[in-house]
Chains A and B, each alone.
Chain A
């Protein structure tokens, strides 16, 4: 309802479960159990309200993706905090008093507790509907969802309105988590598991439609149940397959309505982009030369790390091209990275091809994947586009995971080593540096080519671009394919760097890493992703080596960066430079003063 796509919801769900676990263990009796669950949900709701006040209020005006990124940072932190407090083991909760038995329905034993939950679901749905349609609070919330400034201009304190909505949402999430404890073990990975399910449910149902979400939840759980019984092989794919089908047929979900114009178009910069000046070109060239001279100073381990960072530079640059220039935020870009990696692995393992051939052929897998998935994805836009890319990435991941005969499943494919001339870390580093430099340069040239302009045109105004003869879908499809191919190249390099490929290469964490790098670098910049990738990857690797609590610190850094540098690192530097420029000095100076005064 608040239109904040919230990663942290999974975290609240998890914290609700953990808190309820502790409370129900401490408080005795029937009242203790149910009271514990309610108290846990209420406590988490208060925590959620605090988070809203402290963090989210500062970023409501930022693009949706930034909000997503901030909540992702929070999720990372919560994961470590939970481990810190409750330990890494799974915990088994108490059974619900009064609902221990099972009821026989049509010859099947159904646990009584499950029946309770089945009744509870529609009840909560009904209450929510009444709340939103029959109370003034509900009307205000629906109004504020559309236009928060206007609600304020009618005398409503919308800050508290949003805090209360957020707290209600968190309460329900925590309640959901707490109610799970008699059924399922509590673990510190339950947040990501549930959030993916929830996203799928919400997208199938249609954003902002409570009824739709409820119906979709039923469909999804049915699919999960029957999938395991009937198609065990593809059970993981099934849900995402259904989501993909729903989105292609009904682009706004079952009950959703067409989205209005997005508040802020992604990657839209008020300052038009310019190609590098001569001086800047020289500076970039010098930077590449410095990087190329690194093997003279650094040891093998550092060079391997350096290669990994470079691989992610290319990966992030390819995603950045699609997101910033194309305005297409992909949540599943790892699919093409992973496909490239698997492509290389197949070449080496199945055909015994040498590295050079694999290097050329591997990215083709990324390309083919992008051609196929992209065709569907560009039919959608905004959050729905993002969700469909996520669905396809999950499908690709599931195939890699479950098609054991070919991919080795969870065990991955091992022994994918570079050719002998590139086997030394220094040589491989140079190879990676060369490929990545050329790749990033090509992407940059594309931005300023007529094709890049057509892509930006389609992003800035679909209406106008269609009215001047630009076929939005085809242009965006082409961009999707370009980005997928370059991600594939990065994936191939990654496979040879690690000597192996695993389903994780296609997984959500890599997609998210890519998003974080792009946003860190700055979504309004031409090549900010390069900087974002270097900073994020270096930080992540360094933190892993230094501390157990790497997620906590990484999450905190991400949150801090979103709040302090909403335009990303490069965007921030450009702002600084722009302010110093004498174009409109009094205005810039005054503006800074006013900001400081606030």
Chain B
């Protein structure tokens, strides 16, 4: 069976910095894969190559077997890759629903249309997506005044508008309260398992990583140093030395988190 996402020997350097070195991995549909590592390890570069924002120097990225290496983000999106950003990127001058409507109009290739009221287009579909992420009550609100956690959920709704096969989430819970984090990831995991979407995410909250991912990859100085189940990665001495630390904070916390 062809994996949903197959990455081989991805390589990128810029300005004398070798940011990503020969990274290879694959992701099966319906699975959730976490990418962790110290700040500056190349996680964001890796991510930006997957959705086409950065062109890799070498290596291939295949989506369901088709080569998507080096395609621009908008083309990658049309192939069925949705993404959320570390710092939310939404359309601040529009209402919450309009944000989703623009994505839907684009998905249905209706953006060139000139003489219709866009605010009336795909309203029901937008409402449904907003309901999915629990934002239906805020559909009319200006996006510019949303709280950060809500922006993250709106981003998820936008990312789901093209019925993606693969969802890329860059620090999906950064800046959220612990409860919100768990909720958002539960929601994402539920959607992924129900619809068979593959999810790849980066995260610093080990609680989220260990609870919601099927497997974890650890990146350090541009190289993958460990891959495995959350339990395996957590016990890996190298990962502990480089990234997890003495577990003063997170091991204890995670035990609490999973007990709750």
Contact = CB atoms under 8 A, between A and B. Distances in A.
A–B contact at 8 Å CB threshold (below) = yes
A450 B110 contact: yes
B114 A451 contact: yes
A468 B117 contact: no
Interface in B17-73: 51, 53, 72-73
Contact of A469 (B142, B145, B162): B162
B142 A449 contact: no
Given A454-B105, A463-B85, A469-B78, A449 B94 contact: no
Interface in B211-239: none
Contacts of B74: 466-471
Interface stretch (A265-273, A367-375, A415-423, A514-522): A265-273
A355 interface: no
B111 interface: yes
Interface in B122-138: none
B13 interface: no
Interface range, B side: 35 or more
B74, B75, B111: residue with the most chain A Cβ atoms closer than 10 Å: B111
A268 B93 contact: yes
B118 A468 contact: no
Contacts of A270: 92-93, 142, 144-145
Contact of B113 (A451, A460, A471): A451
Given A468-B102, A468-B106, A471-B74, A456 B91 contact: yes
Contacts of B91: 456-457, 460-461, 464-465
Contacts of B116: 449-450
B121 interface: yes
A470 B106 contact: yes
Contact of B106 (A268, A445, A452, A469): A469
A453 interface: yes
Interface string B159-189: 0011000000000000000000000000000
A359 B73 CA distance: 42
A446 interface: yes
Nearest to B96: A272
Contacts of B103: 468
Nearest to A270: B144
Interface residues of A, number: 33
Contacts of B89: 461, 463-464, 467
B145 A456 contact: no
A452 B68 CA distance: 30
Contact of A460 (B94, B95, B145): B94
A450 B72 contact: no
B142 A453 contact: no
B153 interface: no
Interface string A39-54: 0000000000000000
Given A449-B118, A456-B94, A467 B73 contact: yes
B83 interface: yes
B114 A467 contact: no
B73 A451 contact: no
B112 A451 contact: yes
Contacts of B118: 448-450, 452-453
Contacts of B115: 445, 449
Contacts of A475: 111
A281 B255 CA distance: 62
B111 A464 contact: no
B90 A461 contact: yes
B105 A271 contact: no
Contacts of B106: 454, 468-470
Interface in A467-512: 467-471, 475
Interface in B183-216: none
For the complex of A and B, the 5 pairs showing the least CB-CB separation, nearest first, are: A464-B89, A460-B91, A270-B144, A454-B111, A453-B118
28 contacts: A270-B92, A270-B142, A270-B144, A270-B145, A272-B93, A272-B98, A445-B115, A449-B116, A449-B117, A449-B118, A450-B121, A451-B114, A452-B118, A453-B98, A453-B105, A454-B102, A457-B91, A460-B90, A460-B91, A461-B91, A461-B92, A463-B53, A466-B73, A466-B74, A468-B102, A468-B106, A469-B106, A470-B74
Given A445-B114, A448-B117, A449-B116, 18 more contacts: A272-B98, A272-B142, A272-B143, A445-B115, A448-B119, A453-B94, A453-B102, A456-B93, A460-B93, A461-B91, A463-B85, A464-B89, A464-B158, A467-B83, A468-B77, A469-B74, A470-B74, A470-B102
